[in-house]
Amino acid sequence: MTEQDANITATQISARKLLTSAARTFIETRAHEFYFRRVSGALATGLLLIILIIGTNPRAAAQGATTTPAAGPTQTVRAQDARERFSGESAFAYLAEQLRYGIRPTGSAALTQTGDYFIRTLRGYGWKIDEQKFDINVDGKIVVGRNIIASLGSGPVIILAAHYDTRLWADNDPDVTRRREPVMGANDAASGAAVLLELARVLGKGYTLSHEMRLVFLDAEDNGNIPGWNIFSIGTYDYVARLDVQPEYAIILDMIGDADLNIHYEGRSMQAAPNLMTGIWQAAQTLGYQDAFIPAQRFTMIDDHVPFIDAGIPAVDIIDFDYPAWHTVSDTLDKVSALSLEKVGRTLQTYLEQTAVIQ
């Protein structure tokens, strides 16, 4: 992606705040203790009640007491408990796994392995998978790209998408001698794909979907302005051209793992789908994330939302372009945060709940 009519200013990267294993152990231990006390108390109460019944009713003593499972509110609570909240720690693990495959430009073995990992994970969560391959002519050489589409539910279509390829050149690196080196892409673009994978996990548990949800992992986005590649979002243009339905809207995730998260309204998004963008930001505010989702326009981007908008589909770009490591060799795991991933993921989960897409 690139920015138009905006100045890029570097921002400080805040330290990642992750739960330590000791803290998790403490929480789990207290939870187990709480559960044991509740269960023990319930058993004691039930036993006392049976004794009283038997003591006052000989027929009950002779026939044996029976119990009937509680209905109504208890069942509702169990259904709500089954709905898991988006976990930043889980999303961070998905992000780190992508980096384990190494540099992941379009057409590379590493990106093929990454995509295969996505497919295994998504199928494990019960999503249907489609693959769309396409050819790119790069100075006479054919490079094959692959979009991966996961779908769940039925009804009107809603798309959440992120590109998962990494850039061939770190041409924004402050060290001019390293500008032809590839980018690891922890934030750009493993962060967006990681949020989609964690959403796939939580949406498949305990929810009823009123729409068909499509999670789209887009290839060949990030080599624009490199000779032979020329444009950004090659895979997205191919995906939009093949759409079999008119989606209600599309939400693009890009560079949303920055430890110092500052996501502003994006210019084209506000023109194409202002209600969608402001609705997402309002969901973030209800969660107390107003520090990360800033309701003011700052950048106008060329990114994966543009092909959707060009096709008449409402689309927004959720992107933090205040990222000093953008298109540099420093876009590495230490620059991203589980907390930032959680803020974005929980905001989207809440927005889908508030709009009754998931119930």
CA 250, distance to chain mean position in Å, is 13
Say if residue 102 is in the same domain as residue 57. Answer: no
Say if residue 47 is in the same domain as residue 90. Answer: no
Query: What residues contact residue 28 under an 8 Å CB cut-off, 6+ apart?
Result: none
Say if residue 29 is in the same domain as residue 158. Answer: no
What CATH number did the domain enclosing 300 receive?
Answer: 3.40.630.10
In a domain, 246, yes or no: yes
pLDDT value of residue 83: 84
pLDDT value of residue 72: 35
pLDDT value of residue 330: 98
How many residues are there in the chain?
A: 359
Domain hosting 98: range is 82-354
Last residue of one domain, picked from the residues 5, 33, 67: 67
In a domain, 140, yes or no: yes
In a domain, 216, yes or no: yes
pLDDT value of residue 34: 34
In which region does residue 18 sit, left (phi positive, over 0), alpha (psi from -120 to 50) or beta (all else)?
A: beta
Last residue of one domain, picked from the residues 13, 40, 67: 67
pLDDT value of residue 206: 87
Say if residue 237 is in the same domain as residue 299. Answer: yes
In a domain, 17, yes or no: no
pLDDT value of residue 81: 55
Total structural domains in the chain?
Answer: 2
In a domain, 242, yes or no: yes
In a structure prediction context, what are the per-residue pLDDT tens digits for the chain, which is 359 residues long?
A: 655 444 333 333 333 333 333 334 333 333 333 333 333 444 333 433 333 333 434 333 333 333 333 333 333 333 455 689 999 999 999 999 999 999 999 999 999 999 999 999 999 999 999 999 999 999 999 999 999 999 999 999 999 999 999 999 999 999 999 999 999 999 999 999 999 999 999 999 889 999 999 999 999 999 999 999 989 999 999 999 999 999 999 999 999 999 999 999 999 999 999 999 999 999 999 999 999 999 999 999 999 999 999 999 999 999 999 999 999 999 999 999 999 999 999 999 999 999 999 99
SS3 assignment, position 234: helix
The Cα-based distances of 109 to 159, 165, 183, 249 in angstroms read: 27, 12, 16, 32
Handedness of CA 242, 244, 245, 250 (dihedral sign): negative
Handedness of CA 54, 58, 64, 69 (dihedral sign): negative
